[in-house]
A and B are shown apart, each in its own frame.
Chain A
Amino acid sequence: NAGVMQNPRHLVRRRGQEARLRCSPMKGHSHVYWYRQLPEEGLKFMVYLQKENIIDESGMPKERFSAEFPKEGPSILRIQQVVRGDSAAYFCASSPGGEYYGYTFGSGTRLTVV
């Protein structure tokens, strides 16, 4: 039973390029959450998605960031025109529908903008 899979593990982008981070939830999980952790800082919620729906995007920066969770395939966090301040670890978590369970987190994607 594979856990939450995130790829790539490490991503290097030049300023102005686009970054695409992928998250495949655990089997049977239909809810995905994205978090960002800046260097030496805590985990900050970004967005919560269910299949084909954004439920809560209150933590998403207003510009350049978008997320989707299509009917088929992984959830994608997309950062357009990256800047140095986007360098961080991005974690994805998933949970099943129905009664609440603890979230399962992936190992994260470390984005470095040069």
Chain B
Amino acid sequence: DAKTTQPTSMDCAEGRAANLPCNHSTISGNEYVYWYRQIHSQGPQYIIHGLKNNETNEMASLIITEDRKSSTLILPHATLRDTAVYYCIVHREYGNKLVFGAGTILRVKS
């Protein structure tokens, strides 16, 4: 699976959009981009995933560049409860294990 690069940490004001970038320049054509988050001491939580089209669900939006070498997770109206470590993972196929990197620590501040 392709390696990803994320900033170590980011701050965001409560109520504002949080934009979390991820670089995956070696991504292959059949690899998806997945986002998970881990709120302190809890199990990781699936957020969203995409292949090449932008995706949106009730939690977030995922914007993938046309060349697929980078993506951005957008939390439209961040709340204090969104403070967590966010993981961007490139995942090849069904059954392969998810490999977690260090992620981005997002701190939402009031």
Contact = CB atoms under 8 A, between A and B. Distances in A.
Interface of A: 4, 31, 33, 35, 42-45, 48, 55-56, 58-59, 89, 91, 93, 98-100, 102-108
Contacts of A107: 42-43
A98 B94 contact: yes
State which size class the interface on B falls in.
20 to 34
Contact of A103 (B38, B42, B46, B102): B46
Contacts of B103: 42
Contacts, number: 52
B88 to A, nearest CB: 13
B29 to A, nearest CB: 15
Contacts of B45: 105
Given A58-B97, A99-B94, A107-B42, 4 more contacts: A33-B97, A93-B44, A100-B91, A102-B49
B97 A48 contact: yes
A42 B36 CA distance: 13
B99 A45 contact: yes
Contacts of A108: 41-43
A103 B47 CA distance: 10
Contacts of A59: 97
Contacts of B98: 33, 45, 93, 103
